Chains A and B, each alone.
Chain A
Amino acid sequence: GQQVMQIPQYQHVQEGEDFTTYCNSSTTLSNIQWYKQRPGGHPVFLIQLVKSGEVKKQKRLTFQFGEAKKNSSLHITATQTTDVGTYFCAGLPSGGYQKVTFGTGTKLQVIP
């Protein structure tokens, strides 16, 4: 079955440093979504990428979808303490399937 892996599993950064998490799928994706889950909370949708090579920005967050539509990345510039949480990618496989597979997540800790 489809597997979605993320690296790193954990990341500690000083406030103001940049952060990147990488997402890799074992199968080609129709689209990929990113979610953020705060400690004790539920996943909250951040963005969806659909096109090969697509890049989208949300303020300090930059999301990229790979050319082969099997990988993606999330980059945060100048992290803030409000960025703390676990970031998940979630991939929808191509081929008309409806099952979204969440990645293993990257837990970000920001040290003030």
Chain B
Amino acid sequence: DTGVSQNPRHKITKRGQNVTFRCDPISEHNRLYWYRQTLGQGPEFLTYFQNEAQLEKSRLLSDRFSAERPKGSFSTLEIQRTEQGDSAMYLCASSITWEQYFGPGTRLTVT
């Protein structure tokens, strides 16, 4: 399968714990995006990488969120001290131009 993959697909954690998600983009795609989507809403932009450089980060993101893309390949999104409001689907997308290919997402539930 040469599409975008995300792991884990589901994560249940207790409030206050840290979680880390991984995204593996399509191999030749240099652009990578993270989004958050809650039920009935459109994907909400979190951050954008071009190769290994993080070029944009949403002002909506608190300091508890951090993302990395070492070597411009896979990316990780970490949420520290999770809160119930962080429960959502976290989507990763990759692209060469502006056409984004989305992964299946990681569904996070904070109890």
Which positions in A face B, CB cutoff 8 Å? 1, 4, 31, 33, 35, 42-45, 48, 88, 90, 92, 97-105
A97 and B42 contacting across the interface, CB-CB below 8 Å: no
Contact A45 B101 (CB under 8 A): yes
- How distant is the Cα of A94 from the Cα of B56 in the complex, in angstroms? 15
Query: How many Å from the CB of B95 to the closest CB on chain A?
Result: 9
Contact B99 A45 (CB under 8 A): yes
B103 at the A/B interface (Cβ < 8 Å)? yes
Contact present for A48 and B45 (CB under 8 Å): no
Q: How many residues of B contact A (CB 8 A)?
A: 24
Residues of B within 8 A of A33 (CB): 98-100
Contacts of B56 in A (CB 8 A): 97-99
- Distance in angstroms between the alpha carbons of A35 and B101 in the assembled complex: 10
B41 at the interface (CB under 8 A from A): yes
**Contact of B102 with A88 in the complex, beta carbons under 8 Å:** no
Residues A42 and B104 in contact, CB atoms below 8 Å apart: yes
Bound-state CA distance A88–B93 (Å) is: 15
Report if B48 contacts A (CB, 8 A). Answer: yes
Are B105's CB and A42's CB within 8 A? yes
Residues of the B chain whose Cβ atoms lie less than 8 Å from the Cβ of A42? 91, 102-105
Residues of A within 8 A of B99 (CB): 33, 45, 48
Contact partners of A35 in chain B: CB under 8 A: 100
| B58 contacts A by Cβ under 8 Å | yes
Whether B44 pairs with A43 at a CB distance below 8 angstroms is no
| B residues 19-70 touching A (CB-CB < 8 Å) | 33, 35, 40-45, 48, 50, 55-56, 58-59
Q: A102 vs B102: C-alpha distance in the bound complex, in angstroms?
A: 13
Known A-B contacts A97-B56, A99-B56, A100-B33; the reply to A44 vs B45 at CB < 8 A is: no
**25 cross-chain CB contacts under 8 A:** A1-B59, A33-B98, A35-B100, A42-B91, A42-B102, A42-B104, A42-B105, A43-B43, A43-B91, A43-B93, A45-B100, A48-B98, A48-B99, A88-B43, A90-B43, A98-B55, A99-B45, A99-B56, A99-B58, A102-B35, A104-B41, A104-B42, A105-B40, A105-B41, A105-B42
